[in-house]
Amino acid sequence: MTNLLRGLCRLARPRRFARLPAVSEQEFNAEVSADGRFGASAITHPGSRSYNEDSYISCPELGVWAVADGVGGHEGGEIASRSIVEALRNVPPGLTLAEMIPEVRLRLRDVHLNLQAEAARRGRDVVMASTVVVLLASGNHFACLWAGDSRAYLLRNGLIRQVTQDHSLVQEMLNARVISEDEAITHPRSNVITRAVGAGAPELELDEVSDRLDTGDRFLLCSDGLWKMMGSTELAGILAVSGNAVPAERLLATALQRKADDNVTVITVQVGPG
């Protein structure tokens, strides 16, 4: 769960796993789905917390995947992240990437304004917001849109790169060279984000990156509950394991073994032949 500076689509083969090593003794679902060129695995867990403010959507049939990490406590954050998922679930099928991007921007803008209005109605100090990272894919190209510190990574030809850049206080300090990479990992304000759906100005700011798709590409979308538990080299090692049908489950298990103190949500997407 991050602090702020002042439903799912049909899944082809849902699976229930007994109990991974975890701080929380709750069971959870790992979802595995495929449609045409894309296969995906997705999973979420409260970690050591008593409730889960994360939400996700994994829809290979639409070419839409997203992770949302709620901000504002049990009710505010959970409602915010769920509102994002519900809005993305209703993206019309069959759109080109050029059509999908403005459609998603419009839907997230509406969620942003609705959350701000609801928070104002509930009280002056109420926060109802969520980070979001969205992966869109159609034809031979993809796009990522995001606000906050939920991340997207791309593993291609054995090399991993972080597609997104955090909207966070620590990232701003890194960009200004006020702190080092090593200092950023343990910085006491590493949970402070500077942008989110539902917070800030009435106009929602989403960053965007787009590129081509290659057969064999593997994407990882995750909340900060995962990436704060392991570095990119280790993430790449798990993503690259041959025959790993549910890499999301393995990534989550690793985070829980390390006593993840936040909600953890993971989506992996594999790109097949075009």
Mean pLDDT, rounded, for 31-49 = 87
Distance CA 110, CA 144 (A): 19
What does the pLDDT average to over 127-148? 97
- For the chain, the first-to-last Cα distance in angstroms comes to 37
Measured CA to CA in angstroms, residue 97 lies from 17, 105, 149, 179, 237 at distances of 35, 12, 24, 38, 30
Predicted model pTM: 0.88
Mean pLDDT of the 93-99 span: 96
pLDDT at 74 over 80: no
Mean pLDDT of 108-119: 97
Crossing angle of helices 97-122 and 73-89, rounded to 10°: 150
Lowest model confidence (mean pLDDT) among 47-51, 126-130, 209-213? 47-51
* Topology of the domain comprising 3-271: Phosphatase 2c; domain 1 (3.60.40)
Residues ≥6 apart with Cβ < 8 Å to 136: 63, 64, 97, 100, 101, 104, 142, 143, 144, 145
How many angstroms separate the CA atoms of 88 and 128, rounded?
A: 18
Check pLDDT > 80 for residue 10: no
**Phi, psi (deg, nearest 5) at residue 75:** -80, -50
Report residue 100: phi and psi, to 5°. Answer: -65, -40
Work out the burial of residue 86: count CB atoms within 10 Å of its CB; fewer than 13 is exposed, 13-18 middle, 19 or more buried: middle
Instruction: Name the token pair of 241.
Output: 């394991």
Phi, psi of 99 (to 5 degrees): -85, -35
pLDDT at 26: 35
pLDDT, average across residues 64-71: 97
Q: In whole angstroms, give the CA distance from residue 33 to residue 264.
A: 20
Sign of the torsion formed by the C-alpha atoms of 187, 218, 143 and 263: negative
Residue 185 has pLDDT above 60, yes or no: yes
Task: Tell me what the pLDDT averaged over the chain comes to.
Answer: 86
Provide the pLDDT for residue 62: 95
pLDDT at 73: 77
Q: What is the pLDDT of residue 31?
A: 74
Sheet holding 38-45, edge to edge: 13-17, 28-35, 38-45, 264-271, 218-222, 151-156, 159-162
195-207 pLDDT, tens digit per residue, is 999 999 999 999 9
Q: What percent of the chain has pLDDT over 70?
A: 85
| Model confidence pLDDT, tens digit, residues 213-257 | 999 999 999 999 999 999 999 999 999 885 555 689 999 999 999
- Smallest CA-to-CA distance from 193 within 50, 3, 32, 16 is with 3
Evaluate whether 247 touches 41 at the Cβ level (below 8 Å): yes
**224 neighbors 12 (Cβ within 8 angstroms):** no
Interval 122-129 mean pLDDT: 91
Residue 274's pLDDT band (boundaries 50, 70, 90)?
Answer: confident
pLDDT > 50? residue 210: yes
